[in-house]
Amino acid sequence: MEQLLQLKGSTAIDVEELGHRIVRLPRGALLTVTGIGINEVRRALTTIEAERSALVLPEAGSTDAILNHLLDDLADLALACWPRWYGVDCSTADGSEIAADHPRIAAAWFRAASKRAANGHRPRCRRTARSIEFRQLMQAIDPPDLLLFATIDPLDTARAAPVIQVLEWCASHTASVVAIFPSRPLAVAPFDRLLYGAVDVVSAIEPLQSRFIAPSSRAHHASVVEQRVEAALLRDGELASLFLCNQTVAIDGYGSPRVDLLWRDGRVVVELDGPEHQGDPNFANDRHRDYELLVAGYLVLRITNQQVATDLQAAIEKIRAVVRFRKTTLNLR
């Protein structure tokens, strides 16, 4: 579903622009977005192939617990990057040398943290002030300028308050922060501190074809291509009993996308693509959904409407080849 970003005094812009706005956040900025979830924000960044990485803050209860967990996460990321900190190999570097090249780096912290990282330990220095530790870890992680995200409960002020405190603290220490509200909260404390300048995300009305739900296991009534492929599969002795049309696939963390053809036992998806799938945002969205299905264990075969129209049997043979390959790899009969 296309998402539209409704800005005060401006026209609506699409989700790609939302992604651009997030990756352009300067250090110390806090952007509040309402009417959208973390998965939609992830997709926004994936669509534009963002070069900045992002970390979702944990929901750990108190302000102190969230901040401690965040520092542990940053230390783990820094350890995974070692010895490449600050975009260079630091395995033989001295703290004073690093500090000379990077004025914002504390030489004493670097010496202690790099020693721990070199020995395979989380580079946290417990006696160091949290503000110093936070800034130093944020700089060490490669690539730099990590974005920090947090989803905030718009209905529970007690649960939201510590998350908001941590976000404001991070922004005050030069982090780029995004506060995400699935729905717009009331303008009361502590929400009111984040709502000034917030951007609202609204859903565009989907096209009729995507809103119409065809009867289970039948080709879409408005798609001649789906009907031709369905009829050809039903005539094929090997494939007739395998595929169902217009099925949903449950994917952990990504919802339940509807696919054109599904062989559920073999975890094979066949998508029939018309010309509208050749350009963005559909092309990028299709690639992202293919990725979601792939990591969930599904093979995805895409066949164009043009191929079905010009050589239906060749399309069926492609499906047959994928089925046979899948039967071999999964030891299915």
* Domain CATH code at residue 224: 3.40.960.10
150 and 214: one domain?
no
SS3 110: helix
State residue 333's pLDDT score: 72
20 and 142: one domain?
yes
235, 319 Cβ separation under 8 angstroms: no
Beta strands in the chain (DSSP E): 3-6, 13-14, 30-34, 54-56, 84-85, 88-89, 147-151, 176-181, 199-203, 244-248, 258-263, 268-273, 299-304
283 and 141: one domain?
no
160 and 229: one domain?
no
pTM for the model stands at 0.61
Q: Provide long-range contacts, Cβ within 8 A and 24+ apart, for 181-187.
A: 181/32, 181/33, 181/34, 181/35, 181/151, 181/152, 181/154, 182/34, 182/35, 182/36, 182/37, 182/151, 182/154, 183/34, 183/35, 183/154, 184/34, 184/35, 184/154, 185/34, 185/152, 185/154, 185/155, 185/160
Q: What range does the domain containing 48 cover?
A: 3-203
Amino acid sitting at position 196: Y
75, 56 Cβ separation under 8 angstroms: no
Structure tokens given for 129: 């002030």
Q: Identify the DSSP state of 217.
A: B
128 and 42: one domain?
yes
29 and 159: one domain?
yes
Choose among 320, 208, 205: nearest CA to 261: 320
199 backbone dihedrals φ, ψ, rounded to 5°: -110, 140
Choose among 75, 76, 58: nearest CA to 163: 58
Q: Which element (helix H / strand E) includes 115? A: helix 107-118
Report the relative pairing of strands 88-89 and 84-85 from DSSP bridges.
antiparallel
Residue 121 CB partners (closer than 8 Å, separation 6+): 79
Choose among 268, 317, 321: nearest CA to 297: 268
**Pick from 184, 203, 222: which residue ends a domain?**
203
User: Which CATH number is 118's domain given?
Assistant: 3.40.50
**Pick from 169, 203, 237: which residue ends a domain?**
203
What is the Rg, in whole angstroms, of the alpha carbon atoms belonging to the chain? 25
Count of domains in the chain?
Answer: 2
**Pick from 203, 234, 264: which residue ends a domain?**
203
Place of tokens 């649960």: 159
155, 149 Cβ separation under 8 angstroms: no
State residue 13's pLDDT score: 54
How many Å apart are CA 52 and CA 236, to the nearest integer?
49
131 and 252: one domain?
no
130 and 148: one domain?
yes
199 and 239: one domain?
no
Q: Identify the DSSP state of 215.
A: P
110 and 229: one domain?
no
Residues forming a β-bridge with 150: 179
168 and 68: one domain?
yes
Choose among 66, 17, 6, 8: nearest CA to 280: 17
213 and 192: one domain?
no
DSSP states along 220-282: -TT-HHHHHHHHHHHH-TTTTTT-EEEEE--BTTTB--EEEEEETTTTEEEEEE-GGGSSTTH
- Over its length of 333 residues, how does the chain's per-residue pLDDT go in tens digits? 444 444 443 345 566 777 888 889 999 999 998 888 888 888 788 777 767 889 999 877 899 999 999 999 999 999 998 998 887 888 887 767 776 677 788 888 888 999 999 999 999 988 899 999 999 999 888 667 899 999 999 999 999 999 999 999 999 999 999 999 988 899 999 999 998 888 887 666 666 655 665 555 566 666 788 889 999 999 998 998 899 888 888 887 667 788 999 999 999 999 998 888 777 787 888 888 899 899 889 999 999 999 999 999 999 999 999 999 999 988 877
Structure tokens given for 126: 């417990």
Choose among 117, 108, 113: nearest CA to 82: 117
